[in-house]
Structure 1
Amino acid sequence: MSKKIAVIGLGIMGLPMAKNLVQAGFDVTGYNRSPEKIAELETAGGTGAQSISDAVKDADVVITMVPDSPDVEGVLLGEEGIIANAKPGTFWIDASSIRPDVTTRLAEAARAAGLRPLDAPVSGGEQGAIDGVLSIMLGGDPADVAEVMDVLRAVGKTIVHVGPAGSGQTVKAANQLIVAGNIALLAEAILFLEAHHVDTRAAVKVLGGGLAGSKVLDQKAQKILDREFAPGFRLALHNKDMGIVTSAAREAGLSLPVGGLIAQLVASTVATGDGALDHSGLFRTLATLSGADPDQAPDAAA
């Protein structure tokens, strides 16, 4: 019998994940605060719910994909939330990116209420969610992981159990640290190339074939070259994630000097009004610091 799955949060990542679950043959019910997203899921063959309680009451698996720690806490613990309305034994897979300590606390509350919690933050961006090839970092009980692998395989390609509750979120924080650093250096490299009037598109192509190549370069260089920063992953969310990194580093007694600088640059970009842009929009702050036009690339040499 196909599992019944509830997806709470049908945003840039949650909606394509829900659609892929429908395509995989699961019975999917979705809830989102914006009703147009629910309608889009219904068009794709899913079922819409008018509340979290309605979405989760008959679910075998509940997946949450919401912005931040307080949002996850509200979805789990609220009167209309998962604990109050899901049946005992329901799997709760939190694909949101939140603080590891909050994840650990909420997982304990969920398990005490008879649920089976897993933290399962993802990486791969909007395109990875659309293509169903996300990287999934799993924290929780290995036995629970085994029982939901069919669900996870419908949305992800690289699926790795990394430890107990909270471990997935810790690995995701490390992922966001690396991604933000790569974006910052990619932005600086493009500024450097443009300042010397190189054929920047040709340069990016050859860089992508060498040791400097990365998924960040593959997915974000064109956005920077085109100065087109429609969000796949918003800077405001990456700013939140960098806050998670710096907070967790302090708790562990670590000094992350490069990460701290990148966190400040991301925070500055958000503070100056670019929080709704894709995280490649960090380029705009770095361009401004160099006195370059953040909206217009110089002409390459003939």
Structure 2
Amino acid sequence: MTKPTIAFIGLGIMGAPMAANLVKAGYVVTGYNRSPGKIDALVARGGHAADSIADAVTGAEVIITMVPDSPDVEAVVGGPDGIFAHAQPDAIWIDCSTIRPDVAAALAEQAAAHQIQAIDAPVSGGEAGAVEGTLSIMVGGDGTVVESVRPVLEAVGRTIVHVGPAGSGQTVKAANQLIVAGTIELVAEALVFLEAHQVDTTAAIEVLAGGLAGNRILDRKAASMVARSFEPGFRVDLHHKDLGIILAAAREAGVAIPLGAQTAQLMQALRQLGHGGLDHSALLLLVEQLSGRAAKD
């Protein structure tokens, strides 16, 4: 079968490698981003350039968006230059952004009114997963539509699961972000604890990762946390936004998330201290400060 043409909007830390992997898989990908340099980088890897959202989506069979927040997605789809105004009938819109579940469900209804088939497909795995094409993708929407674009999703992810109707993907992503934030906080606390006792942290990480305490944060981020290297794979600012989504959704459902709420406060405090542009593993810096311990040279 002929591969569908793809418009990719949002070529940031996650979007750029995802679009590149689609090109690598043989898809014709036209990219748009507010920063032209990101578009040039995609073109250098075999993609095509668009100078507007309208230009990118016109004639595209599949449209993928990867932008920071709910208002950004609403801006991309609406207005005279937006997706809804220019996508062809029966185009499939895949939103890989992380946004509010209720917004995702509402936008899916609006898309249907414009004869566009929408699915919400937020991703997990960070920049490394995006580069490696091993993202976990939680998908909400019509099952038939999801299956029709599964090959597209498989070009950027390893675990693709249809989790329910429109908005469900975002709900599962919220749960994912809750677990990730809490795990980072506990790993940060453990590392500061180990250092305070002058334990060999490299050896400690190895044995912890091999037991019941093993987790992906230990595997992927512990070494850089020990080195105090917080080059952003996923920024504090974005995780702060995601935790706000979780708190609102939990309150709406009447669900208590006491540890999640505490972690959200810690993430907010880290952001207020001026660390919003760092990787979310920089929670270690806050634990260190709360412990009265000087930053490691």
Q: Same fold (TM over 0.5)?
A: yes
SS of 2:254's partner is coil
- Aligned mates of 1:78, 1:61 — CA distance in 2: 19
Q: Which residue number in structure 2 is paired with residue 294 of structure 1?
A: 295
Kindly provide the amino acid, as one letter, of the partner of residue 168 in structure 1: G
Letter in 1 for 2:208: L
Q: Secondary structure at the match of 1:229?
A: coil
Residue 87 of structure 1 corresponds to 88
* Structure 2 equivalent of residue 209 of structure 1: 210
- 1:152-177 CA-to-partner distances (Å, cap 9, x unmatched) read 01001000000000000000000000
Q: Which runs of 4+ in 1 moved over 3 A?
A: none
Once residues 203 and 49 of structure 2 are traced to their aligned partners in structure 1, the CA distance between those partners, rounded to angstroms, is 46
1:46 aligns with 2:47: yes
Instruction: Give the equivalent residue in structure 2 for 1:98.
Output: 99
In structure 1, what residue type is equivalent to 2:284? F
Deviation at 1:201? 1.1
Corresponding residue for residue 65 of structure 1? 66
Q: CA deviation at 1:222?
A: 1.1
Query: 5+ residue gaps in structure 1?
Result: 297-302
Q: What is the SS of the residue equivalent to 1:240?
A: helix
Say whether the 8 Å CA contact 1:28–1:46 is kept in structure 2.
Answer: yes
- The letter of the residue matching 1:16 is P
Q: Aligned pair 1:282/2:287, yes or no?
A: no
What pairs with 1:146-295 in structure 2 (closer than 5 Å)?
146-295=147-296
Unaligned runs of 5+ in 2: none
In 1, the alpha carbon distance for the partners of 2:162 and 2:296 equals 42
- Aligned partner of 2:10 in structure 1 is 9
Deviations 1:21-60 (A, max 9, x none): 0000000000001111101000000001110000000100
Q: How big is the shift at 1:293?
A: 2.0
Displacement after TM superposition at 1:255 (Å): 1.2
1:117 maps to 118
Give per-residue Cα distances to partners, 1:157-207, cap 9 Å, x unaligned. 000000000000000000000000000000000000000001111111111
Q: Secondary structure at the match of 1:197?
A: coil
1:294 deviates by: 3.1
The count of residues paired between Structure 1 and Structure 2 equals 296
Note the aligned Cα RMSD (angstroms): 0.7
Q: d(CA) in 2 for partners of 1:285 and 1:184? A: 10
Alpha-carbon distance in structure 2 between the residues aligned to 1:131 and 1:107 = 29
TM-score by length of 2: 0.99
Contact conserved, 1:283 with 1:294, CA < 8 A, in 2?
Answer: no
User: Aligned partners of 1:157, 1:112: CA distance in 2, in Å?
Assistant: 32
Mapping of residues 24-39 of structure 1, within 5 Å: 24-39=25-40
Quick one: which amino acid aligns to residue 126 of structure 2? G
Letter in 1 for 2:125: G
**Aligned counterpart, 1:300:** none
Residue by residue, what CA displacement relative to the aligned partner does 1:198-252 show, whole Å, maximum 9, x if unpaired? 1111111111111111111111101111100010000000000000000000000
SS at match of 2:180: helix
Q: TM-score, normalised by structure 1?
A: 0.97
